[in-house]
Structure 1
Amino acid sequence: MSFCIRTLALVVTVLCQLAVAHGADESSKETPNFIVFLTDDQGWGDLGCYGHPIIKSPNLDKFATEGLRLTQCYSGCSVCSPSRSAILTGRTPYRNGVWRWIPSGSMYHLRESEITIAALLKKRGYETCHAGKWHLNGKFNSDEQPQPDNHGYDHWLATQNNAAPHHMNPTNYVRNRKAVGRMEGPSAVIAANEAINWLKGRKKSKTPFFITVWTHEPHLPIESAPEYMKHYANIKAEGIRQHHGNITQMDDAFGKLMAAVDEMGYRDNTVVFFTSDNGPEGSGKTGRTRGSTGGLRGRKRATHEGGIRVPGIVRWPGKIKAGSVSDTPVIGSDIFPTICEALGIPLPGDRTIDGTSLLPLFAGKEIQREQPLYWRNHLAPTQYRLGMRIGDWKIVGSDNLTSFELYNIAKDWQETTNVAAEFPDKFAEMRAKLIKHDATVLKEGPDWWKLDKPRNRGGKKSVEPAAGKDTTGDFDVVLGANITAADFGYSMSPQTEGLAFQKLEKPIKQTATIRLKYRSGPKTGTTRNGAVVIGSKPTNKDSFKIGTAIGMNQHVAFAGGWGNVGSVATKKASFEQGDTFQIEVKLDVSKGTGTAVVNGSMFKFVLPSNVKTIEYVGFYAKATTTEFSAPVVETK
């Protein structure tokens, strides 16, 4: 996938006060310059200064000692194009229209009606330059859609998406609407050198400038120059050598740009903000997709921390204390209002700006947000497509806003425990705020997202099994299996998913307790899985399961089919061959919460918001012969 929000290595260079030697005159000393350096698919843990034990990143490690290292820096999305749009506009992607990664030739683009920071600064007399990946239109280098010059850039060297055929000697760069052809060297170094040469060649050298350098590294297809791979010669796996070498390659390009800024006397007047467009690609265990999340849950495309938390470093001599560290959550859309406040430019009043100025943070003060940190990603697993963070609390939700999880990031930065049931009031508050905020965002942006159905990754459309048979006469609806009498009461042997429902005499609207026991059939040999199933309708997609996933060593609660197993709640457990399970499920349907105890092990869960009543109760199993008892239901 060539499309994701590449590591958003933003370098916001703000020339403020005292320019050195042959830099600017008195007027330019008072006017900051800006550089946004953005990387592609670089994970939160993909730098030495973020704890990577192997990767060599000497320039960025040194840079971190000279400025402010942000430990909770977020990209605007967990894929590429949307994150880039958030940086330039200060607006969340679904609001500014770049709701998805943009394939070549597609209709999607950053509209000219959006106000970019480059265009805003150009009107203020700045000279502007972009070098590297663009990925903000489908029809690149065409009059049919806006190009970088339409968004405020005087000079640009760019590609539509990835460097082709890879990062070495790319052939697809375009400079100011003219194809360049093959260029020698690593793509990141080419982009950095373009910015350097543009800086040195400016005729109005005393004019303030704004530069964005957006590297392709370390996005696939990864290709690293031998000089950068030599640092990893003792590593046997070529994929690791290539990936780590790609980070070092990008680091060298960054170092070259910073050295040029020093040489031209701009250092003390420059705010540099470095970040990435999203988390690392792939599993991190195969091929060249070896990026690190630093232990965070999820990776690129995920709304969990590993997909959106990225490196972020800001240097501003005289304004930011060297070697400082902040755990204040910040996001890519904060760049726009930060630059505006630094220059005294009022924010556009005819649209919502989602970011907030970081100037108070640079001075060691707290920042105040009018808009919450918010993410919506069409490529995230369906059950985790949205996210919002306010303070220490983060909520993630499904695409249809029926399933949610709540995390306290300050206490659980790896998002291991959904605490929605433990903090029902906070959960209700966050859920209501997310639903309301999401509606306002979708209403303000263009309806392009309605025209192109997002992919259903992982989330997994529930398959409805065919009707089964009940030879006992005790069940009202049977799907995907035949029910026969057995020692425990009943047995089912589904090839895929099997469900047996009994219709309750009276629907459950308040509280209830459900008990049953189950085990794998005697001929199965090993314990596999089983669950209580409840629902307002006797279908797979509309029902909710609470039980055990033996092969996963977990107790689970999930809505819909097996593809969503563990999507609502999980708890680690260990099992022995031939185990018998006794489960007790306590429900409070009015509050949308529940507790399950399986063989003494307790876990909590939250019911989907569309579960208002429970009319059917029964048993569920996946691809295994299972014996189970009749469910016993007690209501108050």
Structure 2
Amino acid sequence: MTRSHWLPMMKLLVGCFVTCSLHGRICAERPNVIVIMSDDQGGGDYGFLGNDVIKTPQLDAMHARSGLLRNFYVSPVCAPTRASLMTGRYNYRTRCVDTWIGRAMMDSGEVTLAECLRDAGYRTGIYGKWHMGDNYPLRAMDQGFGESLVHRGGGIGQPSDPIGAEGKYTDPTLFRNGKEVQMKGYCTDLFFDAAMDFIDRTAKSGDNFFTYIATNAPHGPFDDVPMELYEVYKRADFSPILVNELHPNRRQAEFDKLARIAAMITNIDENVGRLFHKLDQLGIRENTIVIYLNDNGPNSLRYVGEMRGMKTGVDDGGIRSPLLFHWPAKVKADATSDALCAHIDVMPTILDACEIDVPRSLDFDGRSFLPLLTGRDRSWPTRQVVFQSHRGNVPQLYNHFAIHEDPWKLVHPSGFSNERFEGPLKLELYDLSNDPKQENDLAEKHPDVVERLRKGYETWFSDVSSTREDNYAPPRIIIGTEHERETVLTRQDWRHASGKPWASDSNGYWLLEASEPADYEIELIFASHEHPAAAATISANGVATEIDIAAGRQRGHRTTVSLPAGKIKLAAEVTFNGNTQGPHQIVLQRR
């Protein structure tokens, strides 16, 4: 039996089941669920956390009537946080270990929050950023979401963009339930519009819903932002949120970038206000859970409260987020907690709130924090929580990690961009209760704490690395099925072979799998039409096919190849003006 055949059966066996008995509580009494997660917003970009420059009045109002986790952590970068959020497990268990070149794909055997809620009778929809695979069986629509409106890859403006739609935040080309659609409007507005339409239709049908709104804002690029808000912020003084003094030559450029980021954040804030207005119109605010968080630290070195660091870092400024939990029916407005919580806890918490029994076969790393906010049980065990992310194909022991055990933080900030670190291991220890900015390294004063946390980290690393056989092997894209008639392969999910991964003169290959041999039409697409005539070589498991590349054409270079059943390594290369490179994208169509 091939993987494409046993996958649905596996999902069925380990999926989450619930029965709404006619003699018990009816389904309509369960809460609806909305999770909103911004991209690169950072843990200090909120008025209620002391930011007086970036305006977030709607989130400030949400904070005033919500529960709040003040000691909540995420991963240093996008995809790892999303994998943990969707599974309740550390991302190293899910094969999602990086943000690009085939390592932001999550193993399709993972059971997601959307699958659990779908199997419990909820209607599910995602709007915005998925970032864990663009092809079957890795897409959000394959992982439990009945409705989806998303962009590909890690963000608009990346090599996964559809040809002709590169970088468009306004009037973007998106994918609705797997089909490419041209949209009109600004991306964040469009995602909230679609989410509210889904909520409206579902609520009026009497069904429960789970809505995941994952904005790509305020992630770059920054050239296409809400212009009215940008014009307002162009006049703002961002000095209060700068971490370092800047040379006058850099100051103007930095202020302009911050004005664009701030415009995107305030636009998200306005949409949060529109969302709550919709819930009020439908009369469902009281029993709808609305969660708000950001996915990692800020995308510039700016205000993060009493912390240090930014996106990609394992210092607190790179991995902290407030978590707002709005549920008037059960959570009081002044409910707060300083307990150590993280992204791995969100899925168990939501299933707890929805009273969904989780099979023992579903092994969470997280736990429900709902009792902390409802007052049901405010006890919380001392726990160790680990955060590690860095570039590369296989995680390395000790490379760019932090382990937390309140109030301690043991950290080795060796650099996200380094696949491996060189030199002696130098661990830093901080007491965050007295030193949130991590200014006083206590490693020499408390060697016993260092040793305990180091052993805890080593045990964690060994555990997550042995989740499955060949734990860090990249997931494969399955081709030739009815689930995806046309497979578009992009540099987001290729395995990098030479050059800089997304540079025009780089090359790579894709890891595929097919249930049976078949003929495929293959189209090679190039990033530009400005190239000479050439001959390209397409290689599948070492079998080469030649194809002529016409001068001055970006796409339309097609041929037919026979691909075998089983695992396939597909590559293509062409030489333009003496530079050998791979295509920008490949389109596969089974014949």
Which residue pairs with 1:59 in the alignment? 58
Listed one character per residue, the Cα deviations across residues 289-309 of structure 1 (whole Å, up to 9, x for unaligned) are xxx322422211111101100
Aligned counterparts, 1:149-298, within 5 A: 149-160=141-152, 161-164=154-157, 165-166=166-167, 168-181=169-182, 183-202=183-202, 205-222=205-222, 223-235=224-236, 237-284=255-302, 292-298=303-309
3-state SS of 2:411 partner: strand
Q: Does the C-alpha gap of structure 1 residues 109 and 348 become closer, same or farther in structure 2, counting only changes over 3 Å?
A: farther
Q: Does the C-alpha gap of structure 1 residues 260 and 278 become closer, same or farther in structure 2, counting only changes over 3 Å?
A: same
Distance 1:109 1:335 in 2: 20
- C-alpha contact (below 8 Å) 2:234/2:256 kept by paired residues: no
Aligned counterparts, 1:69-84, within 5 A: 69-75=68-74, 77-84=75-82
Which residue pairs with 2:107 in the alignment? 111
Structure 1 letter corresponding to 2:370: L
Q: Does the C-alpha gap of structure 1 residues 124 and 450 become closer, same or farther in structure 2, counting only changes over 3 Å?
A: closer
Structure 2 letter corresponding to 1:429: R
Shift of 1:111: 2.0
Q: Does the C-alpha gap of structure 1 residues 233 and 146 become closer, same or farther in structure 2, counting only changes over 3 Å?
A: closer
Aligned counterparts, 1:235-384, within 5 A: 235=236, 237-284=255-302, 292-364=303-375, 365-368=377-380, 372-379=384-391
User: Higher relative contact order by CA 8 Å / sep ≥ 6: 1 or 2?
Assistant: 2
3-state SS of 1:197 partner: helix
1:385 and 2:397 equivalent?
no
Which residue pairs with 2:10 in the alignment? none
Q: Does the C-alpha gap of structure 1 residues 349 and 247 become closer, same or farther in structure 2, counting only changes over 3 Å?
A: same
Structure 1 letter corresponding to 2:347: F
Which residue pairs with 2:555 in the alignment? none
- C-alpha contact (below 8 Å) 2:28/2:208 kept by paired residues: no
Which residue pairs with 2:31 in the alignment? 32
Q: Does the C-alpha gap of structure 1 residues 98 and 369 become closer, same or farther in structure 2, counting only changes over 3 Å?
A: farther
Shift of 1:369: 5.1
- C-alpha contact (below 8 Å) 2:40/2:297 kept by paired residues: yes
Which residue pairs with 2:563 in the alignment? none
Instruction: From 450, 453, 468, give the equivalent of 1:430.
Output: 453
- RMSD across aligned positions (CA): 2.6
Which residue pairs with 1:128 in the alignment? 124
Q: Does the C-alpha gap of structure 1 residues 384 and 72 become closer, same or farther in structure 2, counting only changes over 3 Å?
A: farther
Listed one character per residue, the Cα deviations across residues 127-168 of structure 1 (whole Å, up to 9, x for unaligned) are 11000011011xx1x33x321121111100001221244463
3-state SS of 1:410 partner: coil
Q: Does the C-alpha gap of structure 1 residues 407 and 347 become closer, same or farther in structure 2, counting only changes over 3 Å?
A: farther
Listed one character per residue, the Cα deviations across residues 495-549 of structure 1 (whole Å, up to 9, x for unaligned) are xxxxxxxxxxxxxxxxxxxxxxxxxxxxxxxxxxxxxxxxxxxxxxxxxxxxxxx
3-state SS of 1:251 partner: helix
Structure 2 letter corresponding to 1:226: M
Shift of 1:319: 2.0
Listed one character per residue, the Cα deviations across residues 385-414 of structure 1 (whole Å, up to 9, x for unaligned) are 111111211111366794322111111111
- C-alpha contact (below 8 Å) 1:43/1:278 kept by paired residues: yes
User: For structure 1, which runs of at least 5 residues remain unmatched after alignment?
Assistant: 1-25, 285-291, 455-636
3-state SS of 2:26 partner: helix
Distance 2:52 2:203 in 1: 45
Which residue pairs with 2:87 in the alignment? 89
Distance 2:311 2:147 in 1: 31
Which residue pairs with 2:573 in the alignment? none
3-state SS of 2:173 partner: coil
Structure 2 letter corresponding to 1:119: E
Structure 2 letter corresponding to 1:178: K
Provide TM-score, normalisation by structure 1.
0.61
Shift of 1:174: 0.2
- C-alpha contact (below 8 Å) 2:335/2:373 kept by paired residues: no
Q: Does the C-alpha gap of structure 1 residues 232 and 294 become closer, same or farther in structure 2, counting only changes over 3 Å?
A: same
Distance 2:203 2:355 in 1: 26
Listed one character per residue, the Cα deviations across residues 282-331 of structure 1 (whole Å, up to 9, x for unaligned) are 334xxxxxxx3224222111111011001321111142221444322221
Shift of 1:279: 0.3
- C-alpha contact (below 8 Å) 2:202/2:209 kept by paired residues: no
Distance 2:400 2:234 in 1: 40
Structure 2 letter corresponding to 1:422: K
Shift of 1:96: 1.7
- C-alpha contact (below 8 Å) 1:95/1:446 kept by paired residues: no
Distance 2:444 2:468 in 1: 34
Q: Does the C-alpha gap of structure 1 residues 323 and 438 become closer, same or farther in structure 2, counting only changes over 3 Å?
A: same
Higher mean alpha-carbon deviation, 153-162 vs 225-234, is at: 225-234
User: For structure 2, which runs of at least 5 residues remain unmatched after alignment?
Assistant: 1-24, 158-165, 237-251, 415-419, 475-494, 498-591
Structure 2 letter corresponding to 1:335: V
- C-alpha contact (below 8 Å) 2:390/2:399 kept by paired residues: no
Which of structures 1 and 2 has the bigger CA Rg?
1
Structure 1 letter corresponding to 2:39: D
- C-alpha contact (below 8 Å) 2:188/2:267 kept by paired residues: yes
- C-alpha contact (below 8 Å) 2:203/2:209 kept by paired residues: no
Structure 2 letter corresponding to 1:55: I
